[in-house]
């Protein structure tokens, strides 16, 4: 039996449904730069295959045939992204984003049970702190041992680097960890690090390929707001259907980690 000791959370799309606000912030920054770019929801969903905001802007610029390339593309992209980050932070402070169903409950369950927690995200640290400052008690930083943002590792998701960094810093093994993600890149990152991963989908990722994930749901759910299951390990899904489980709780976390059948077929690259 493998024992759960550590839960590693992604942020964007997982802790909170932030992607739509990110999309709007990108478009506002494009307006600030007098660009005629406008990312639709469908287009942004396609762009999420690229991890990192700066990387998305850069690739989009390279793909635009009618875009006059600036002398220093990286500086230009950094300028757009800085304005985008400012717009995003303002929208968070104004209350445009709240935690997804079940997140606050599970954070408190893990904390009360002595489960170690951390965050592994491709977003900036400032985005993490602004979101959680506005949605959790003032002492929330003490809830997480490590917050690994895009500035910590060079290779972003789907590379396993950010998960490897967290596990190495916490001195924990993948067999005792569980990850929560919402995108294919995030899933591949955790899977490559050998960590079983629960997927919580949303508009931008509900059609992603998450084959191999033990559980795929539309949210973590609440007792009065059940999740909708869209995939996962057949044995686990049969147990969920046969029982009265309609939201993710700490017992379900433990079950996924404890049963080796639910471990992803991945080689731990973090040693």
By annotation, the residues acting in catalysis are 10, 12
The residue among 8, 13, 269 whose CA lies nearest residue 123 is: 13
Rg (CA), the chain: 19
Instruction: Round to whole Å and give the CA distance between 207 and 195.
Output: 22
Per the listing, tokens 């147990």 go with 239
The residue among 53, 201, 214 whose CA lies nearest residue 121 is: 53
* Phi, psi angles (nearest 5°) of residue 95: 90, 25
DSSP-H helix ranges across the chain? 19-32, 41-47, 53-63, 73-93, 103-112, 125-133, 161-170, 184-192, 234-242, 250-258
The residue among 204, 150, 209, 181 whose CA lies nearest residue 19 is: 204
């Amino acid at each position: 039996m493998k024992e759960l000791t550590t839960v590693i959370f992604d942020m964007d799309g997982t802790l909170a449904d932030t992607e739509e606000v990110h999309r709007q912030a990108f478009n506002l920054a494009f307006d600030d730069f007098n660009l005629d770019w406008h990312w639709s929801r469908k287009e942004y969903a396609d762009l999420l295959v690229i991890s990192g905001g700066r990387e998305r802007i850069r690739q989009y610029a390279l793909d635009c045939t009618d875009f006059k390339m600036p002398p220093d593309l990286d500086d230009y992209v950094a300028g757009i992204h800085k304005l985008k980050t400012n717009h995003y932070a303002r929208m968070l402070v104004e209350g445009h984003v709240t935690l997804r169903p079940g997140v606050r409950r599970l954070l408190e369950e893990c904390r009360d049970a002595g489960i170690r927690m951390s965050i592994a995200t491709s977003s900036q640290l400032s985005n993490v702190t602004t979101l959680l400052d506005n949605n959790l008690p003032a002492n929330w930083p003490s809830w997480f041992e490590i917050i690994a943002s895009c500035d910590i590792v060079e290779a972003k998701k789907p590379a396993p680097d950010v998960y490897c960094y967290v596990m190495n810093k916490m001195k924990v093994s993948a067999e005792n960890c569980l990850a929560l993600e919402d995108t294919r890149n995030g899933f591949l990152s955790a899977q490559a690090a050998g960590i079983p991963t629960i997927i919580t989908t949303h508009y931008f990722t509900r059609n992603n390929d998450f084959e191999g994930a033990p559980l795929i749901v539309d949210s973590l759910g609440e007792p009065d707001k059940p999740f909708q299951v869209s995939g996962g390990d057949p044995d686990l899904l049969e147990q969920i259907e046969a029982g009265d489980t309609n939201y993710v709780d700490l017992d379900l976390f433990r079950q996924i980690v404890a049963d080796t059948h639910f471990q992803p077929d991945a080689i731990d690259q973090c040693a």
